[in-house]
Amino acid sequence: MTNACTMGYSGLTVPIIVLTVFWGVIGGVVSWFIPKGPNRGVMNTILVTRAVCCSLFWQIAIRSQLKPLFGPQLKTETIWYLCNQWP
Amino acid sequence: MGSVFRSEEMCLAQLFLQAASAYDCVSELGEDGLVEFRDLNPNVTTFQRKFVSEMRRCEEMEKTLGYLLQEIKKADISLMDCDVNPVAPLPKHVLKIQLDLSHQAQFEEFPSLDKEPLMDYTNMQRLGAKLGFIAGIIHPWKVGPFERMLWRVCKGYTILTYEELDIPLEDPESGEDVKWVVFLVSYWGEQIGQKVKKICDCYHCHVYPYPNTNQERKDIVAGLNTRIQDLHTVLYRTEEYLQQVLSKASESIHTWLIQVRKMKAIYHILNLCSFDVTNKCLIAEVWCPVADLPKVRQALEEGSRKSMATVPSFVNRIPTTDTPPTLLRTNKFTSGFQNIVDAYGVGNYQEVNPGPYTIVTFPFLFAVMFGDFGHGLIMSVFALWMVLSENNPKLKRTRNEIWNTFFDGRYIILMMGLFSLYTGLIYNDCFSKSLNIFGSGWSVKSMYNSNVWKNADVRHNQYLTLDPNVTGVFRGPYPFGIDPIWNLATNRLSFLNSFKMKMSVIVGITHMTFGVILGVFNHLHFKKQFNIYLVFIPEMLFMMCLFGYLVFMIIYKWLAYSAANSELAPSILIHFINMFVMQRNEDAQLYPGQNGVQIFLVVISILSVPVLLFGKPGYLYWKHHGGRNFGTYRKGYTLVRRGSEEEVSLLRTHEMEQGDIHSNHTSQADGAEQEFDFGDIFMHQAIHTIEYCLGCVSNTASYLRLWALSLAHAQLSEVLWGMVLHMGLRMDNDYGSLLLFPAFGFFAVLTVAILLVMEGLSAFLHALRLHWVEFQNKFYTGTGYKFSPFSFELLIRHSDDFA
């Protein structure tokens, strides 16, 4: 169990950091740079909502795959192909 | 907060317009489009209003202009597209325009002369002195029946000869070009002559005198020929003149049309005003946004200046208890999304507006159901084209209803397409194929390396399953989205279904919680803090204890269980059901102490239901019948007694803003007891409680449509690939490459028709339903009415749509 844990997390830290920073930038920092027009409120709302939605969606996708309970079932032809082509 | 989150503050104002400058002031207000006029003469019929004669005059002018426009269109003269915005003319200019118009109309009457036909004569043998002739022309369709009738009536004593004319001539009744048939009837005897004449009358023939001698005939023909020449010249000249007149008119007809419409609108508004006692001043009541009051003053000053009135018109704000209309200022981007919200119901005055959040959540929910990178790309490109060419006038003014609908929603479609690109990347689905950008996290080689599989296994079985327990097989999750190996797997749907169902539930519960939280802003704004404790907190507790816990269980199961202990992983649904029934889970617990925690959560959520049910009515009852707030209430009471009319109205306005839709607060001017209908409030709260609690369960299940539709979309695109394009690519005979072209064409047409249009509309509809029902019924009432200002721009745009 611990093996799977560490293996799972090692491949996880980099994407998590990258994407959290990305959405944080979009949601938080860019909001400061929106010019002070009449649309400032709308633009900020759009940015923050979009950051929340998109990051939530990505997080769900990655957390559901962290620890798979079963593996993919492949046709044997596919297995031959993948064995030779994929690292 | 800005004005887009909540509707603007409105005030009722009275305009005092000087009689002489009323027209100009209203014209100025119309140009700016700031205010909405109220009807001060609701009991007066249309015919009794003051400015009826002016309105009639305007309507006559409109009719003449319409007729002119028709004639111009018939003559195929091109109209100039005009964006000119002429100001409404003064009444004295109107007379001039009227004269011009009547001139034009007169010349229209000229060219409707009908032409005299050519008369052809046939060589007929004369057989006797009593022979009579009748010559004429008849419509070609009637020749057969005419002949038969003649035969039956005259029993063969007539001879009919006829011939078709060479050139078609215009039928004066129907206006079409018809090839007339010239006939000559020769008969013996007077009586037969009478019968033949009657028959000719029946069939609407044009009868012409037929001379008896050849010489006379020749003379008549020569005379007619010259006459025809003259008529041709006259007609030609008249048509030339008509063209000239119409071309001149076509230059200014648009301007005239707009001017007449503006005038009519101004008189309509003036009809809504009432005269004051001295009969010198028009009084109008308008709804006006508070921020625009200085602009209204400016417009009135401008109007007074233009009409050179001595006494200026002014505006005065008055207090009111009526509910003002809702105004939300939108630009071309936000107006589409605001229309989506308003289609469900225009928000109450100063209620929280779900519009700005809809700009993102609506395309997002659409994209969750539509998620395909390739289809999203096509949709975005299409929308981008519409957006970039939005200033093209031809696109703006087509009559095609369906195109107009798509074009008006171009920003919505663009957002939907962009979000679909994103969700397509996460679902890793591009025309039903996956993209392997980062390298898959599953390794087949490791199964060989660990000697789990040998070549013999592969040869003897058709399917083999990768086991994540074996070292090296699963190397970590795919960093962005679903791993591409699942696209090649046969048990793909088992994994994807579980993922998408849980995703739908999580997204749904988040969306609904957001809706409940938005309700807090309403409570804060309308200064009903008690609502926060008695309504919002029980609602949140109920939702979070049950469904928030469900989300927690989902996430916990993702993180805590892996392939090593996958046999022990419990089914979340069964645990959830057991929680409600308060059954102990004998076999597996998700985490230690689960039973205790679950019982605790269920108890809390059950307790929050009576708080939700009785809290608010009880509190209002207690407050009304004396309580801690009795002192301030008393003070308010005495203020009503002592204060002036203005203070009473102001107090009433304040209370109206506070009062909710359930309670009947009927306060009278002399400060009588306020009625408090406990039964009504309690009934309303009971309905709200039941709706909320049952709704929580059913709405959560309703969000599963996110899963269902995305599954349908993925399956459809897989079918299209497998049955159409794959077949085309697989053909390995000589002409296989040629057959690929129609196969691809078929694939493209079906993709656009079924997957983009049909699935797109379906996902749009379901996203709309999720917003309207599941999201908005947590906080939005939507029973207001929209602010429709008196604006020439809107008027002209609407009338252009009908023109």
Q: Say whether B531 sits in a helix, a strand or coil.
A: helix
CB-based contact A65 B478, cutoff 8 Å? yes
CB-based contact A64 B558, cutoff 8 Å? yes
Of B55-64, B242-251, B493-502, minimum mean pLDDT range: B242-251
Q: Which of B99-103, B246-250, B604-608, B642-646 has the highest mean pLDDT?
A: B604-608
Does residue B259 surpass a pLDDT of 50?
yes
CB-based contact B482 A50, cutoff 8 Å? no
* Contacts of residue B56, Cβ cutoff 8 Å, sequence gap at least 6: none
Cα–Cα distance, B19 to B27 (Å, whole number): 14
CB-based contact A87 B491, cutoff 8 Å? no
Cα–Cα distance, B384 to B417 (Å, whole number): 9
Give mean pLDDT, residues A18-24: 75
Give mean pLDDT, residues B702-713: 94
Higher-pLDDT residue of A1, B303: B303
pLDDT digits (tens, 9 = 90+) for B274-313: 777 676 778 888 888 888 888 888 888 888 888 777 777 7
Of A71-75, B208-212, B355-359, B751-755, minimum mean pLDDT range: B208-212
CB-based contact A86 B444, cutoff 8 Å? yes
A40: which chain B residues are within 8 Å (Cβ-Cβ)? 2
**How far is the alpha carbon of A82 from chain B, nearest alpha carbon, in Å?**
7
Q: In degrees, to the nearest 5, what angle opens at C-alpha B783 toward C-alphas B333 and B413?
A: 25
Q: Which of B239-253, B389-403, B606-620, B660-674 has the highest mean pLDDT?
A: B606-620
For tokens 């920003």, what's the residue?
Answer: B411
CB-based contact B480 A15, cutoff 8 Å? yes
Cα dihedral B504→B507→B509→B515 (10° resolution): -140
User: Is the CB of residue B761 less than 8 Å from the CB of residue B416?
Assistant: no
Burial profile B475-510: b = 16 or more Cβ within 10 angstroms, e = fewer = bbbbbbbbbbbbbbbeebeebbeebbbbbbbbbbbb
User: Is the CB of residue B64 less than 8 Å from the CB of residue B249?
Assistant: no
Nearest CA in chain A to B459: A76
CA distances from B342 to B339, B564, B765 (A): 5, 53, 15
Which token pair is B691? 């709706």
Cα–Cα distance, B302 to B308 (Å, whole number): 10
Least CB–CB distance from B364: residue in A14, A19, A53: A53
CB-based contact B422 A83, cutoff 8 Å? no
Q: What percent of chain A has pLDDT over 70?
A: 74
Does residue B656 surpass a pLDDT of 60?
no
B496: which chain A residues are within 8 Å (Cβ-Cβ)? none
B489: contact with A, CB 8 A cutoff: yes
- Positive or negative, the CA dihedral A3, A6, A9, A13 is negative
Cα–Cα distance, B413 to B692 (Å, whole number): 33
Give mean pLDDT, residues B433-450: 85
pLDDT digits (tens, 9 = 90+) for B24-65: 888 888 888 888 888 887 777 777 777 788 788 888 888 887
Give mean pLDDT, residues B93-115: 53
CB-based contact B479 A64, cutoff 8 Å? no
Cα–Cα distance, B612 to B267 (Å, whole number): 54
pLDDT digits (tens, 9 = 90+) for B612-645: 998 888 888 888 887 555 444 444 444 444 444 4
| DSSP code string of B436-468 | -SS--SB-SHHHHHTTSS-HHHHHH-SEEE--T
Does residue B585 surpass a pLDDT of 70?
no
Least CB–CB distance from B360: residue in A46, A57, A69: A46
Which token pair is A45? 């709302």
Cα–Cα distance, B646 to B639 (Å, whole number): 12
Confidence tier at B89 by pLDDT (50, 70, 90): low
Task: Find, among B119, B207, B134, the residue nearest to B165 by Cα.
Answer: B119
DSSP H or E stretch at residue B217: helix B214-272
User: Is the CB of residue B444 less than 8 Å from the CB of residue A86?
Assistant: yes
Confidence tier at A44 by pLDDT (50, 70, 90): confident
Q: Quote the DSSP letter at residue B326.
A: B
Cα dihedral B209→B215→B221→B222 (10° resolution): -140
- Positive or negative, the CA dihedral B196, B201, B207, B209 is positive
Higher-pLDDT residue of B555, B246: B555
Q: Say whether B278 sits in a helix, a strand or coil.
A: coil
Cα–Cα distance, B30 to B792 (Å, whole number): 5
CB-based contact A57 B360, cutoff 8 Å? no
Does residue B20 surpass a pLDDT of 60?
yes
User: Is the CB of residue A74 less than 8 Å from the CB of residue B463?
Assistant: yes
pLDDT at residue B181, as a whole number: 74
Q: What percent of chain B has pLDDT over 70?
A: 82
A78: which chain B residues are within 8 Å (Cβ-Cβ)? 488
Give mean pLDDT, residues B310-324: 82
Task: Find, among B332, B231, B285, B265, the residue nearest to B40 by Cα.
Answer: B285
Q: In degrees, to the nearest 5, what angle opens at C-alpha B460 toward C-alphas B455 and B462?
A: 105
Q: Where are the beta strands (DSSP E) in B165-280?
A: 169-170, 177-178, 181-188, 206-208, 274-275
Does residue B81 surpass a pLDDT of 50?
no
Does residue B351 surpass a pLDDT of 80?
yes
CA distances from B533 to A52, B292, B615, B619 (A): 28, 37, 9, 11
For tokens 């609701």, what's the residue?
Answer: B42
Cα–Cα distance, B305 to B313 (Å, whole number): 10
Residues 81..110 of B with a Cβ closer than 8 Å to A: which? none
Does residue B424 surpass a pLDDT of 80?
yes
pLDDT at residue B675, as a whole number: 60
CB-based contact A69 B441, cutoff 8 Å? no
Residue B773 φ then ψ, to 5° = -95, -60
| DSSP code string of B412-439 | HHHHHHHHHHHHHHHHT-BTTB---SS-
pLDDT at residue B222, as a whole number: 84
Q: What is the CA radius of gyration of chain A?
A: 20
Cα–Cα distance, B34 to B48 (Å, whole number): 28
Cα–Cα distance, B141 to B148 (Å, whole number): 13
Helices marked H in B526-584: 529-531, 537-543, 549-560, 572-581
Nearest CA in chain B to A42: B356
Give mean pLDDT, residues B153-166: 72
Does residue B683 surpass a pLDDT of 80?
yes
Give mean pLDDT, residues B343-361: 90
Which token pair is B249? 């008119």
pLDDT at residue B116, as a whole number: 40
User: Is the CB of residue B456 less than 8 Å from the CB of residue B465?
Assistant: no
Cα–Cα distance, B357 to B179 (Å, whole number): 68
Domain ranges of chain A: 1-85
Q: What percent of chain B has pLDDT over 90?
A: 23
Cα–Cα distance, B160 to B187 (Å, whole number): 9
Residues 506..545 of B with a Cβ closer than 8 Å to A: which? 506-507, 510
Of A9-13, A54-58, B127-131, B585-589, minimum mean pLDDT range: B127-131
Task: Find, among B783, B788, B797, the residue nearest to B286 by Cα.
Answer: B788
Three-state SS string over A11-36 comes to: CCHHHHHHHHHHHHHHHHHHHHCCCC
pLDDT digits (tens, 9 = 90+) for B741-770: 888 999 999 999 999 999 999 999 999 999
| DSSP code string of B341-371 | HHHH-PPPTTPBP-HHHHHHHHHHHHHHHH-
Confidence tier at B168 by pLDDT (50, 70, 90): low
Residue B312 gets the label, from left (phi > 0), alpha (psi -120 to 50) or beta, of beta
For residue B576, how far is the Cα from the chain centroid?
42
CB-based contact B459 A76, cutoff 8 Å? yes
For tokens 């003051």, what's the residue?
Answer: B50
Residue B169 φ then ψ, to 5° = -120, 160
Cα–Cα distance, B568 to A67 (Å, whole number): 14
Least CB–CB distance from B361: residue in A39, A49, A78: A49
B181: β partners: B138, B164
pTM of the model: 0.77
Give mean pLDDT, residues B76-95: 54
Give mean pLDDT, residues B128-152: 74
Which token pair is B340? 């989506």
pLDDT at residue B131, as a whole number: 66
B442: which chain A residues are within 8 Å (Cβ-Cβ)? 71-72
Q: Quote the mean pLDDT of chain B.
A: 79
Task: Find, among B151, B75, B161, the residue nearest to B111 by Cα.
Answer: B75
CB-based contact A53 B360, cutoff 8 Å? yes
**How far is the alpha carbon of B383 from chain A, nearest alpha carbon, in Å?**
19
pLDDT at residue B111, as a whole number: 37
pLDDT at residue B516, as a whole number: 92
